Amino acid sequence: MTERKGEVAVLMGGASAEREISLRSGRGVLAALQSRGVQAFAFDPAVQPLDDLRRLGVERVFIALHGRYGEDGTVQGALELLGIAYTGSGVQASALAIDKIRTKQIWSFLGLPTPQSLAIGPLSQPHEIVAALGLPVVVKPCREGSTLGLSKVHRVEELEAAIALATRSDALSLAEQLIAGRELTVAVLGEASQARALPIVEIRAPEGNYDYQHKYFTEDTEYLCPAPLDAELGARVQALAVRAYAALGCSGWGRVDLMLDAGGNPWLLEVNTSPGMTDHSLVPMAARALGISYADLVLRLLDAASLKLRAAA
Ligand SMILES: Nc1ncnc2c1ncn2[C@@H]1O[C@H](COP(=O)(O)OP(=O)(O)O)[C@@H](O)[C@H]1O
Ligand SMILES: [Mg+2]
């Protein structure tokens, strides 16, 4: 393979459980780049070795991969070694953000609110979880996305199955206090120290279950953007999202998931460092609320593509 297919490769597909979603994100990104005259082509690291990128003379990539081997620092590390600039966070921030337990440890250390949790494995016992956290809890894999392997547990008898389900995806999992209330997500753009939040999106899923099905396949989830929050609370949530993002050293872009409890207190759940870019996706929705079109967003993210380790040296 010697022919150069374009200047920019859109990395999509990949080997994670979120492969199908990544293909959708990638197709959207690719079409947007091409619509703006960028010579871009699709590249699936599950099909072709990544070092083909160098042979193809690619200088920049847009990472539209999700989950493991896509937003966990591994692809970012390989691109650093290949000397190819990439969108989004660097190696360390990506590796931290994919890991919900480490992420929460950092936030807790900095005094940022995140629900109390317990690291668990396949041998964890229901009574340990109840003793540490009470009920209800959410049980979820540490390094998964798209609500895969996640259960909401209200009764102790349900815990064993929830532990088995989560730890099938990732032997390292967590139980976390369930926050009942409103679900919010905040897109953040820019480098850690100068990052800014886009308008907040509120997600209203049927019965509060924003799961894989409701994320990608149904039309019955309501999205409100900007979220109907009073101005002071909205500003506080946006500022919190930026601090949560900066705490992990994120750059380029990200999306911070939160819950707002019945008392109006925000609780941080996680940061996605390679958020969805499908037609249902939330970062494009938040950008649109500011008058930034999907294609403009994609170009802006691509413009910020860089080699982070080299920049830091
Ligand atoms: N502690 C929690 N309390 C209430 N709901 C939660 C909690 N943790 C997760 N959820 C729900 O599950 C969804 C997915 O959880 P999240 O932590 O964002 O993981 P991921 O999106 O990586 O699967 C959230 O969007 C939210 O609806
Ligand atoms: Mg999430």
Per-residue pLDDT of the chain (313 residues; tens, 9 = 90+): 445 567 999 999 999 888 999 999 999 999 999 999 999 999 999 999 999 999 999 999 999 999 889 999 999 999 999 999 999 999 999 999 999 999 999 999 999 999 999 999 999 999 999 999 999 999 999 998 778 899 999 999 999 999 999 999 999 999 999 999 999 999 999 997 799 999 999 999 887 777 777 777 777 889 999 999 999 999 999 999 999 999 999 999 999 999 999 999 999 999 999 999 997 899 999 999 999 999 999 999 999 999 988 665 5
Give the whole-angstrom CA distance, residue 85 versus residue 45.
16
Domains of the chain: 8-87 (3.40.50.20), 95-113+180-303 (3.30.470.20), 117-177 (3.30.1490.20)
Q: Tell me, using a 6 A CB cutoff, whether residue 269 lines ligand 1.
A: yes
Residue 147 CB–ligand 1 contact under 6 Å: yes
Confirm or reject: Cβ of 246 under 6 Å from ligand 1. Answer: no
Q: According to the model, what pLDDT value does residue 280 have?
A: 81
Cβ–ligand 1 distance for 176 under 6 Å, the answer yes
Catalytic residue, chosen from 24, 68, 143, 255, is: 255
Could you tell me if the CB of 178 is within 6 A of ligand 1? yes
Is the shortest distance between the CB of 153 and ligand 1 below 6 Å? Answer: no
Confirm whether 257 is a catalytic residue. yes
pLDDT value for 209: 75
pLDDT of residue 142: 96
Nearest ligand, CA of residue 103? 1
Question: Which residues are registered as beta bridge partners of 11?
Answer: 43, 63
Max alpha carbon distance in the chain (Å)? 61
Tell me, yes or no, if 209 is annotated catalytic: no
The 3-state secondary structure of the chain reads CCCCCCCEEEECCCCCCCHHHHHHHHHHHHHHHHHCCCCEEEECCCCCCCCHHHHCCCCEEEECCCCCCCCCCHHHHHHHHHCCEECCCCHHHHHHHHCHHHHHHHHHHCCCCCCCEEEECCCCCHHHHHHHHCCCEEEEECCCCCCCCCEEECCHHHHHHHHHHHHHHCCCEEEEECCCEEEEEEEEECCHHHCEECCCEEEECHHHCCCHHHHHCCCCCEEECCCCCCHHHHHHHHHHHHHHHHHCCCCCEEEEEEEEECCCCEEEEEEECCCCCCCCCHHHHHHHHCCCCHHHHHHHHHHCCECHHHHHC
- Distance from Cα 270 to the centre of ligand 1, integer Å: 8
Q: Which two tokens stand for residue 141?
A: 């894999």
CA of 148 to the centre of ligand 2 (A): 10
Q: Structure pTM?
A: 0.95
Active site residue 303: no
Cβ-contact 63, 40 below 8 angstroms: no
Given this model, what pLDDT does residue 207 score? 76
CB 71 less than 6 A from any atom of ligand 1: no
Residue nearest to atom 10 of ligand 1 (CA): 138
What pairing do the DSSP bridges indicate for beta strands 40-43 and 8-11?
parallel
Q: Tell me if residue 216 is catalytic.
A: yes
| Encoded tokens for 56 | 């193809």
Looking at the DSSP bridge assignments, the partners of residue 43 are: 11
Give the separation between CA 35 and CA 291, rounded to whole angstroms: 18
276 is catalytic: yes
Q: How many angstroms is it from 144 CA to the middle of ligand 2?
A: 9
Question: Distance between CA atoms of 71 and 182, rounded to whole angstroms?
Answer: 27
Q: Between vectors from CA 236 to CA 231 and to CA 239, what angle results, nearest 5°? A: 125
- Residue 147 CA to ligand 2 center (angstroms) comes to 7
- Which tokens hold the place of 97? 């953000």
Query: Which of these is catalytic: 89, 146, 151, 173?
Result: 146
User: What's residue 101's pLDDT?
Assistant: 98
Ligand 1 atom index nearest CA of 180: 4
Handedness of CA 207, 210, 213, 218 (dihedral sign): positive
Centroid of ligand 1 to alpha carbon of 269 (angstroms): 6
Contact between 139 and 122 under an 8 Å Cβ cutoff? The reply is no
Q: Around ion ligand 2, which residues have CB less than 5 A away? A: 257
Q: How far apart are CA 139 and CA 171, in angstroms?
A: 12
55 a catalytic residue: no
